[in-house]
Amino acid sequence: MIGYDANKTVPLGLASMIGAFDLRWGDVMAGSTLIAMPLFVAFTLLSRYFVQGLTAGAVKG
């Protein structure tokens, strides 16, 4: 669907690096880290609000 490599998203680019007979584990792990890092940072910064929202919904009355 996507004709140019520059237009691919990171997960799609990571999946295209996996060949039929070879697998560059270093590149795959580096790409996986790049994909997961923003989620870890966002959760770390916003975890206080997640907990407040969960506890506020659990209060009765």
Q: Which token pair is 1?
A: 């669907």
> 11-32 pLDDT, tens per residue?
777 777 777 677 788 888 888 8
Q: Which amino acid is at 18?
A: I
Domain ranges in the chain?
5-58
CA distance 53 to 47: 10
pLDDT at 17 (0 to 100): 74
Task: Tell me the average pLDDT across 42-55.
Answer: 88
Distances, alpha carbon 17 to alpha carbons 22, 31, 34, 54, in Å: 9, 10, 15, 40
The pTM of the full predicted model, rounded to 2 decimals, is 0.56
pLDDT higher than threshold 90 for residue 7 = no
For residue 32, how far is the Cα from the chain centroid?
A: 7
Percent of the chain with pLDDT over 70: 85
